[in-house]
C-alpha cells in the first residue's frame, strides 16, 4: 500500500512569511495527525483529526497555526506568520480508527523540514 505522502520535503522562509504543508494519508485511515519535531526532541502533537473533525488541537498555537481536512482525506497545515522557533520537522501521520483496529498505531510520512531565517 502507498505510504503517507507529504510535501514539500524542505522549505526555507524568512520570519513573518507564511508556509503551507500538505499531507495525504493512507487510504482508509480515518485519523490524521500533525506533529512538530524540533531537532533533538520527540514529536509533539499539534492537531488530530477524525475524518474531517478536530479531535484534539490543545497544543496548536492558534494565533499562527491552522490546519484543515476538508473532505476527510488530505490535510493542509499552515503557519502565518512564521517565527524563528517554528523551525522544525512537521510530521504527518495517519491511523485506522482505534475502535476498529484495537490500538492507535501510527504510520508516518517522511516529514517536511522547515527552516525559518
Partner 1 sequence: SQQGEEDPQALSIQEGENATMNCSYKTSINNLQWYRQNSGRGLVHLILIRSNEREKHSGRLRVTLDTSKKSSSLLITASRAADTASYFCATDHLQGAQKLVFGQGTRLTINP
Q: Which residues bind partner 1 (CB under 8 A)?
A: 4, 33, 35, 41-45, 48, 55-56, 91, 93, 98, 103-111
How many other CB atoms are there within 10 angstroms of residue 48's CB atom? 21
Smallest separation, CB 16 to partner 1 (Å): 27
Question: Which CB, 17 or 115, lies closer to partner 1?
Answer: 115
Closer residue to partner 1 (CB): 17 or 30: 30
Nearest CB to partner 1, comparing residues 17 and 45:
45
Q: Smallest distance, Å, CB 13 to partner 1?
A: 20
Question: In whole angstroms, what is the distance from residue 57 CA to residue 70 CA?
Answer: 16
Task: Tell how strand 112-116 and strand 10-13 pair up.
Answer: parallel
Residue 93's alpha-carbon distances to 74, 75, 101, 116, in angstroms, are 11, 11, 16, 23
Amino acid at each position: 500500500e502507498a505510504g503517507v505522502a507529504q510535501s514539500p520535503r524542505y522549505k526555507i522562509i524568512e520570519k513573518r512569511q507564511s508556509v503551507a504543508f500538505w499531507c495525504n494519508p493512507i487510504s482508509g485511515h480515518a485519523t490524521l495527525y500533525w506533529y512538530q519535531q524540533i531537532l533533538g526532541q520527540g514529536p509533539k502533537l499539534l492537531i488530530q483529526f477524525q475524518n474531517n473533525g478536530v479531535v484534539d488541537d490543545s497544543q496548536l498555537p492558534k494565533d499562527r497555526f491552522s490546519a484543515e481536512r476538508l473532505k476527510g482525506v488530505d490535510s493542509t497545515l499552515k503557519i502565518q506568520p512564521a517565527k524563528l522557533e517554528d523551525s522544525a520537522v512537521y510530521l504527518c501521520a495517519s491511523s485506522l480508527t482505534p475502535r476498529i483496529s484495537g490500538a492507535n498505531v501510527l504510520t508516518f510520512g517522511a516529514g517536511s523540514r522547515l527552516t525559518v531565517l
